[in-house]
Structure 1
Amino acid sequence: MKEILNSEQLSRTLKRMTHEIIERNNDLEEIVLVGIMKKGLPIAEIIKENLKRFADVDITVFGIDITAYRDDMTDVITNKEKLEVANKNVILVDDVLFTGRSVRAAMDALVDMARPSKVQLAVLVDRGHRELPIRADYVGKNIPTSKEEKVIVDFNNQCVYLD
């Protein structure tokens, strides 16, 4: 495995993304972070803490399970949660943007729950190979990969690897 981001680089990248969110959103009080389970949620929590530190704003973070909305899963779970996102500016957060199918499922889930005012997408890594016309508003790092390679975000060691 090749290390793409070490702990210091990962921290710096998430801080930069947080500053971009602050710059692009006039009313930070109207923002809600929604982390795609499992790996988007810890990133959303870090961004929340950074927003508290840099902009003195305490925003809500939700985790969203998109399993019931996936179009490529055979075992569909019908348990659909409800999040308070109506009329909020939602920033959807995920670790790696690849085909775009997870993001599409998350947007379907959000719209099924309520109508957000706006939806933005923040991803730690964009690795290309989109199958759907989805583009992130906030990207930590663009990493060109082959379809066979995998990007691994390791929260225990605070690193990102290419395998």
Structure 2
Amino acid sequence: MKDNTPILNDEQIRQKIRRIAYEIYENNYGEKELVMAGIVEQGFELAKLIAEALEHISPIRVRLIKVNLDKFAPTQSEISLDCDEKELKNKSIVLVDDVLNTGRTLAYSLKPFLKVKVKRLEIAVLVNRSHTQFPVSTQYTGYELATTINEHVKVELGKQKLSVFLQ
């Protein structure tokens, strides 16, 4: 495959984000507040876009938080939230990342949520590559993509145009 093969364009990504927002609303329609926890960088950007779409289509108030960790060395870095963990007690949470590859980042990102009793914890991703090595599954997936382990999915969010490329 050539470099930067387009997978999803701006319009397609926005459509997938709207669909994910509707699915989240359907599964959480009784909630007054929902916590969207975006994994640092692209996961947080995706969480912001989903939160905007969810607030547009539903009465649910969305609280956006960031999960901080070093994606390349999660065992050697501190994994933290930009809020007090106690504020998450009995809350429904959607953990968000851009791409699910091996499940490693998502698995380590769960650590702060294990310290507090949450009501529900679900996972949303824009692209699922299905190469999971960790027992992580998503409740909300924008796009399932069969790739080789050597290929790389590049997601660009937070810019004027959204895009997903296969490298």
TM-score (norm 1): 0.89
Aligned positions of 1:66-105 closer than 5 A: 66-67=69-70, 73=73, 76-78=76-78, 80-81=80-81, 82-83=84-85, 84-105=87-108
Please name the residue that 2:147 is paired with. Answer: 145
Distance in 2, matches of 1:52 and 1:149, equals: 35
User: Are 1:44 and 2:47 matched, yes or no?
Assistant: yes
The residue number in structure 2 matching 1:56 is 59
Which one of 20, 25, 28 corresponds to residue 22 of structure 1? 25
Rate the CA distance shift 1:6–1:26 in 2: closer, same or farther, 3 A: same
Gaps of 5+ in 1: none
Matched AA of 2:90: N
Distance 1:132 1:78 in 2: 20
2 CA distance for matches of 1:22 and 1:75? Answer: 34
In structure 2, give the amino acid aligned to 1:21: I
Q: Distance in 1 between matches of 2:74 and 2:25?
A: 39
Q: Say which is worse superposed, 5-14 or 79-88, in terms of deviation.
A: 79-88
Task: Report what 2:165 is aligned to.
Answer: 161
Q: What amino acid sits opposite 1:18 in the alignment?
A: A
Contact 1:18 1:50 in 2 (8 A): yes
For these two proteins, the number of residue pairs brought into alignment is 159
Structure 2 residues without counterparts, runs of 5 or longer: none
Query: Secondary structure in 2 aligned to 1:59?
Result: strand
Instruction: Let me know the Cα RMSD of the aligned residues.
Output: 1.9
Partner of 1:130: 132
TM-superposed CA distance for 1:109, in Å, is 2.1
List structure 1 runs of 4+ shifted beyond 4 angstroms.
none
Q: Deviations over 1:1-46 (max 9, x none)?
A: 1111100001001000000111111323242110011111111111
Contact 1:123 1:139 (C-alpha < 8 Å) held by counterparts: yes
**1:112-127 to 2 correspondences below 5 Å:** 112=115, 114-127=116-129
Cα gap change, 1:2 to 1:76, in 2 (>3 Å): same
Cα gap change, 1:102/1:79 in structure 2, threshold over 3 Å: closer, same or farther? closer
CA distance in 2, matches of 1:74, 1:40: 15
Q: CA deviation at 1:74?
A: 7.8
